[in-house]
């Protein structure tokens, strides 16, 4: 392959310098145009923010006025809401059953040799169920008498099968809760 060198080295240098100058001018023009566009956008954004700030300030002032005017109405609503909450709390407290008081009474009156495996109370149906073990039949009969005298329990059912075994008897006692459970 033959290569011809038609352009002289001085012309090559000149063309290279000229191309570089043109490229720098173009880049400078693009940079100047970008700077001008950026300046215009910055000024436009500043203008929009200033207008928007005035609008927001006006809205805040109007909201403050409406709050001041509605201050007393909202205070009344808050008082009504608080009264409703207090009434609800009072109603809940009136319906509260002190299970600890009932269980304490049952456990403190329980004779030695008797143990519970389960204690269930149902406040909706006012039923109860106790199950457990007794070391002797006499202990279980004694506890039956104590339960019959309890102010919290009524209609106490002792299955005969619980009383058949003389020693180590398992039992299941059921019955009704009295209205004394609601006493404070």
In degrees rounded to 5, what are phi and psi of residue 64? -60, -40
Is the domain of 46 the same as that of 122? no
Closest CA to 163 of 130, 129, 127, 134: 134
- Banded model confidence at residue 70, pLDDT cuts 50, 70, 90: low
From CA 119, how far away is CA 78, in angstroms rounded? Answer: 44
| CB-based contact 172:143 (threshold 8 Å) | no
| CA–CA gap between residue 180 and residue 99 (Å, rounded) | 11
Q: What residue numbers bound the domain in which 121 lies?
A: 99-182
What tokens were used for 175?
A: 């019955």
| 16-25, 49-58, 64-73, 153-162: the lowest-pLDDT one | 64-73
Residues 134 and 120 in one domain: yes
Could you tell me if residue 2 is inside a domain? no
- With 70 as the cut, is the pLDDT of residue 66 above it? yes
- Calpha distance 40→46 (Å, rounded): 10
Specify if 45 maps to a domain. Answer: yes
Q: What is the pLDDT of residues 126-156, one digit of tens each?
A: 888 988 888 888 888 888 888 888 888 888 8
Contact call for residues 137 and 166 (beta carbons, < 8 A): yes
Same domain, 111 and 87: no
Determine if the pTM surpasses 0.75: no
- Quote the number of domains for the chain: 2
CA dihedral of residues 116, 118, 119, 120 (deg, nearest 10): -160
In a domain, residue 4? The reply is no
Q: What whole-number distance in Å separates Cα of residue 68 and Cα of residue 74?
A: 10
One domain, residues 108 and 163: yes
Q: Using an 8 Å Cβ cutoff, are 134 and 97 in contact?
A: no
Do 169 and 117 contact (CB within 8 A), yes or no? no
If asked whether residues 119 and 74 sit together in one domain, one would say: no
């Amino acid at each position: 392959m033959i290569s011809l060198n038609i352009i002289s080295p001085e012309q090559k240098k000149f063309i290279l310098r000229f191309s570089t100058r043109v490229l720098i001018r173009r880049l400078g023009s693009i940079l100047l145009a970008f700077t001008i566009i950026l300046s215009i956008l910055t000024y436009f954004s500043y203008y929009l923010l200033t207008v928007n700030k005035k609008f927001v300030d006006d809205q805040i002032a109007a909201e403050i006025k409406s709050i001041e005017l509605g201050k007393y109405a909202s205070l009344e609503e808050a008082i009504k809401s608080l009264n409703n909450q207090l009434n609800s709390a009072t109603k809940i407290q009136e319906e509260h059953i002190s299970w600890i008081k009932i269980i304490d009474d049952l456990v403190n009156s329980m004779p030695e040799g008797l143990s519970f495996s389960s204690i269930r109370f149902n406040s909706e149906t006012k039923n109860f169920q106790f199950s457990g073990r007794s070391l002797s039949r006499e202990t279980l009969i004694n506890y039956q008498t104590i339960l019959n005298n309890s102010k919290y329990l009524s209609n106490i059912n002792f299955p005969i099968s619980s009383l058949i075994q003389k020693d180590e008897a398992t039992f299941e006692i059921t019955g009704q809760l009295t209205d004394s459970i609601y006493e404070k």
